A and B are shown apart, each in its own frame.
Chain A
Amino acid sequence: DAGVIQSPRHEVTEMGQEVTLRCKPISGHNSLFWYRQTMMRGLELLIYFNNNVPIDDSGMPEDRFSAKMPNASFSTLKIQPSEPRDSAVYFCASSTDRASTEAFFGQGTRLTVV
């Protein structure tokens, strides 16, 4: 298995533009997580899906952020409109089930909003 696949690896966009980050979890995993990593806040859990259903989105910073999981093999995290303070590395992770302590992380997407 190729592991969790995220795209793009790097994204540079102008303030106000829409940004869409993509994730393909490991086949057979039914839990998916989006995290954001910054120097100031470390690794923050944004949203968690189980069996394609959003279970906990309490970490989503504001309404400009939205996430979807239309099927078991694809998820998106969208920021509209983007702001410079959204600049961070965004990680997607998947695990076999909600109780599993081992999450498998993708390589991340480094987002820069100028």
Chain B
Amino acid sequence: GESVGLHLPTLSVQEGDNSIINCAYSNSASDYFIWYKQESGKGPQFIIDIRSNMDKRQGQRVTVLLNKTVKHLSLQIAATQPGDSAVYFCAEHTGGFKTIFGAGTRLFVKA
């Protein structure tokens, strides 16, 4: 099926542990920052976004943190499950419509 690059940064966690996926961004003018999840053979799927004037937003089992000072974004997944294994992309929403994707991080969850 469709797949992403084989040479992505990889994070391996034990099932039940918390995961933290990090991302550095470049465009300070982006109005939103977004996290997407891509499972093998599928297209990216929206997880959560955060407006640029916020520093934290929580969803179901996920929390996104934004540090504009150092241009850093992170996604925290609580109680990581095998179904969370995927490639995670941070993305910047800019220009009112354009979503620009980062390189991605592969998350492996060990049972």
Tell me the A residues contacting B by CB distance below 8 Å.
Answer: 4, 31, 33, 35, 37-40, 42-43, 45, 48, 50, 55-56, 89, 91, 93, 98-99, 101-108, 110
Among candidates B2, B45, B93, B102, residue contacting A42 with C-beta atoms closer than 8 Å:
B102
Chain B, 1-29, contact with A by CB distance < 8 Å: what is the 0/1 string? Answer: 11111110000000000000000000000
Number of residues on chain B facing chain A (CB within 8 A): 28
Chain B residues whose C-beta falls within 8 Å of the C-beta of A99 in the assembled complex: 96-97
Which 3 A-B residue pairs are closest in the complex by CB-CB distance? A105-B43, A39-B5, A43-B101
Q: A42-B104, A48-B98, A107-B42 are in contact. List 19 more A-B contacts (CB 8 A).
A: A35-B101, A37-B4, A38-B5, A39-B6, A42-B5, A42-B103, A56-B98, A98-B97, A101-B34, A101-B46, A103-B46, A104-B46, A105-B43, A106-B43, A107-B41, A107-B43, A108-B2, A108-B42, A108-B43
* Whole-angstrom CA separation of A31 from B3 in the bound complex: 25
Tell me the B residues contacting A by CB distance below 8 Å.
Answer: 1-7, 32, 34, 41-46, 49, 89, 93, 95-104
Chain B residues whose C-beta falls within 8 Å of the C-beta of A93 in the assembled complex: 43-44
Among candidates A33, A39, A104, residue contacting B7 with C-beta atoms closer than 8 Å:
A39
Cross-chain pairs A/B with CB under 8 angstroms, 12 sampled: A35-B101, A38-B5, A42-B104, A56-B97, A98-B96, A99-B96, A101-B93, A101-B99, A102-B34, A103-B46, A105-B43, A110-B2
* Whole-angstrom CA separation of A106 from B3 in the bound complex: 13
Chain B residues whose C-beta falls within 8 Å of the C-beta of A33 in the assembled complex: 99
Contact A102 B2 (CB under 8 A): no
